[in-house]
Amino acid sequence: MEEIDQEGLLELFEGFQRGEQVILGHFGTVQTLLALIYGVPVTVHLVNQSSRYASHALASRYASHALASREASGNEEASLVIIRTVNLKADDRTLCVASSWIPRDKNRKDVLLDIMAGGLGLGQIIFKHNIPSKRYLLKVGRDVETFTREYVIEGPDLYLKISEVFMRKPFMDIGWV
């Protein structure tokens, strides 16, 4: 779902609490939004990052509808992807665990260098390089302990698939949810 489909977003978030809707429906830099909500700087902590080869069939499971249709050629050639997990923290509290699927052949070299350095969040990297992008929300979910979303960011020589899990307790503690 593209970011300007307001009716679709409202329907998608039916039954979610307002605080969850604001976070899950936000398409800017998550780190900045969480800092504003929490009132302290939010930092990115690299948990794990690795590169591996994945078949196009596997990659298309993680891809947006647009990329999946381009990859549907039946070519089982493997491509190198970066799989990255970070924690977004306010002080010592983990607010979000974000996992990303980043095909190396779909991203600019300068972006890949910043990703591999591990010091910046993906939103910060996009902002740093001033890359125009579109975001597609793929799905949202919630349970007793978390609320989640999966989305894709696409732009010129940019493709990132991101899955975010937000811990409910820190947001309950400050009255956000």
Tell me the pLDDT band of 71, cut-offs 50, 70 and 90.
very low
Q: CA–CA separation, 80 vs 162, rounded Å? A: 17
Q: CA–CA separation, 102 vs 106, rounded Å? A: 8
Residue 17 has pLDDT above 90, yes or no: yes
pLDDT of residue 163: 96
Q: CA–CA separation, 87 vs 55, rounded Å? A: 27
For the full predicted model, state whether its pTM sits above 0.95: no
Residue 78 has pLDDT above 90, yes or no: no
Residue 175 has pLDDT above 60, yes or no: yes
Residue 118 has pLDDT above 90, yes or no: no
Number of H helices, E strands in the chain: 8, 6
**Each residue of 34-47: pLDDT tens digit?**
999 999 999 999 99
Strands (E), the chain: 42-55, 78-90, 93-103, 134-142, 146-155, 158-167
pLDDT of residue 121: 86
The structural domains of the chain, ordered by start, are: 6-173 (3.40.1410.10)
Average pLDDT over residues 135-152: 94
Average pLDDT over residues 163-173: 96
Q: CA–CA separation, 67 vs 51, rounded Å? A: 20
pLDDT of residue 53: 86
Q: What number of other Cβ atoms are within 10 A of residue 13's Cβ?
A: 18
Q: What are 153's two structure tokens?
A: 């960011």
Average per-residue pLDDT for the chain: 85
Q: Which of helix, strand or coil describes residue 168?
A: helix
